[in-house]
Structure 1
Amino acid sequence: MQKIIIWVLIGLGAFLLVAALIASLWAPGVVKKTPIDTDSTTHLSGTAAKLNPGTGKVEDLQVKATSFTKADSDASDDDVVVFTNVTCLVVDGPDVPDCIEDKNDPNLINIPEPDAFATDRYDAGAVENGTYVPEGTEQKEGLVNKFPFDTEKKSYDYWDGMIGEPVKVDFKGTHDIEGVETYEFNYNVSDVDAEVVDGIDGKYSMDKTMWIEPRTGAIVKQEQHEVRTLENGDPLLDLNLAFTDDQVKTNAEDAEENVSSLELITSTVPLVGFIVGPILLIVGGGLLLLSRTKGRRSA
């Protein structure tokens, strides 16, 4: 019985030590990767002052936006994840669906067009389109739909599709969102030349703030104020959007769960393994040596 206990201690100690080595040396490169089975729906709501082309008057509207983001597992690989995204912006009213396909529907504010992009699974930055996305797809630069794992308190390049180039998004501070520590980032562009409506040039402004869970790089909360005008300054759209309260709560819960999983694999397992593993090996080895010494004396 004593021999069984000794070998159990030695075996368990060796197992914990190996597990700690694997968790500290190999696991971070595996778990800190954007999954290729992502399929998310994000809900935003707000207000819009929008030009009605039929009347020529600016109308004040309650609006909602829904963003559908899905990873293409077949087009993705070990290092790159390929996403498709569609964002629908509609009038928020009774029985109005999240997305409208009829271009003549008066509740439709933007015509939803699918977008595709490829990003690095480790640092979340856009990669060369290459064969990852269909030919002719716009080449993105910088961050697109999330921040990197272990986000730092610094500025990043963040893609703005309206102007077709990355902008600097700056770290602004640390905030608690639904019990989750987040990093606040903001970028602000004003009166930039852009194609504000299909085939129509004008001016574009954006003030966008995102609250990021730093361990995973996930966007927990987002607010934005977007303005589009004609070149002469006539208003086209003045839009205020933010994640809904329910969306923020869901994002925070998901972030908390993902952080716990990361900490278990990358912190808890190595800590326990490197502390308990050697102790068990020493105890087991000592008992084994002691039993053999007693055995020789008895002989």
Structure 2
Amino acid sequence: MRRTASPFSLIVLGFGTFLLVLAPMLAWYVEPRAAVNPIDIDTTAVYKGTGSVFDTDKIATVPDQTITVTQRVRGNVAESEDSGNAVWDVITTVDTDKSLPAEDPHDALDYVPHRWVMDRESTRPVHCCEEKPYIEGEAYLKFPFDVQKRDYRWWDNTLRGVITMRYQDTKKIQGYTGYRFTATVPATKTGTRLVPGRLVGLEDTPQVLAEEWYANHGLELVVDQATGRVLYAQTGPRRTLRAPGADKDAAVLLDSRKIAFTTATQKEAVDQAEQDSGQLRLVGRTLPIGAGVIGFVLVVTGIVLVVRGRQRPGSSELPQPSLTM
């Protein structure tokens, strides 16, 4: 009589097959859908540095000032859910020790509110939901997921335009390795501002529409490869005023060689990057590999048990006695 396979062997074979099917699904289906930008973000980045700042009380540029840049990013959950995109409201303030602490960000030396809308998966800008300004490029505030060793088009909100962040090498921030990108911005006219003529050397003109110019001594961004989160940011802004049509700066509003993430901001960014990239690695690599290996072992074991369970006892059939005369 043939023996049938035991229920246990069939369970082993079925579970192993399930794990083999699950492994590619985790890597190719679940992991890409886990790599999405949040809609409920609430984070603050603080930059510190020194430089020259225009003092409105003294009507003059004052050197060697401590400069604090605070960037608050909060997700607008309601508009994000309505649009299907990530809608982030951003407030950037620039302060000196004179304007800190400020109960109201409007009291800062400079106050810039704006909104960034992006595709949750690709991080590319989406133009909707009262977005302001019209942001372009591949990245702003963060890079796309799965950052590559290539140049990226980065939105510079002061320039109101796109610059090229060039990949340089890797760099460790608080012991965590990221991709380093750098760029500079040549002096560029960004707009106009109504000011007293004497600020730009026109003593006989009460009011003049002065030209606003912006340059950057050097930007440096260190980015987490898996999530695109910025681990470290450094900027060297120079903002000036010129008389209409002039080719030289007449007044310096802000000039610093280096304003960079504080240590606390770096640590917070690294902690979040480790957590997020760890979750992506778990879903996209660790679990699929583990499921695949265990599934293969269980399938092989299940097949062996099934084959053995169906074999006939002994040598499959008893030998027939020979006939003799």
TM above 0.5, yes or no, is yes
2:93/2:105 contact within 8 Å kept: no
Amino acid at match of 2:291: G
* Aligned residue in 2 for 1:62: 66
Cα distance, 1:277 vs structure 2: 0.5
Measure the CA separation in 1 of the matches of 2:145 and 2:84.
14
Name the structure 2 match of 1:71. Answer: 75
How far 1:91 moved relative to its partner? Answer: 2.1
Residue 181 (structure 1) aligned with residue 185 (structure 2): no
Aligned match of 1:235: 252
CA distance in 1, matches of 2:158, 2:44: 21
Q: Tell me which of 116, 133, 144 is aligned to 1:138.
A: 133
Residue matched to 2:227 = 216
Task: Give the match's secondary structure for 1:74.
Answer: helix
Could you list the runs of 5+ residues in structure 2 that have no partner in the other structure? Answer: 195-208, 243-247, 318-325
- Of all paired residues, the percent bearing the same amino acid is 23
Contact 1:31/1:262 (CA < 8 Å) preserved in 2? yes
Partners of 2:280 and 2:80 lie apart in 1 by: 22
| Partner-residue secondary structure (3-state), 1:279 | helix
Please name the residue that 2:164 is paired with: 168
Q: TM-score, normalised by structure 1?
A: 0.87
Indicate how the Cα distance of structure 1 residues 260 and 54 shifts in structure 2: closer, same or farther if over 3 A, else same: same
Higher radius of gyration, 1 or 2:
2
Q: 2:197 maps to what in 1?
A: none
Aligned length: 287
| Greater shift in the superposed pair: 248-257 or 212-221 | 248-257
1:97 aligns with 2:101: yes
TM-score (norm 2): 0.80
- Partners of 2:192 and 2:15 lie apart in 1 by 64
String of CA shifts for 1:83-128, please: whole Å, max 9, x gaps: 11011222247x933663454xxxx211x2321121122222212x
2:214 aligns with 204
Map of 2:25 onto structure 1:
22
Question: How far off is 1:3 after superposition?
Answer: 3.8
Cα gap change, 1:172 to 1:102, in 2 (>3 Å): closer
SS in 2 for 1:114: strand
Query: Quick one: distance in 2 between partners of 1:213 and 1:101?
Result: 30
Match of 1:283 among 279, 282, 301: 301
Aligned CA distance change for structure 1 residues 56 and 279 (closer, same or farther; 3 Å): same
SS at match of 1:195: strand
The answer for unaligned runs of 5 or more in structure 1 is none
Q: Structure 1 residue 271: deviation in Å? A: 1.0
Asked if structure 2 preserves the Cα contact closer than 8 Å seen for 1:19 and 1:269, the reply is: no
1:87: which partner in 2? 92
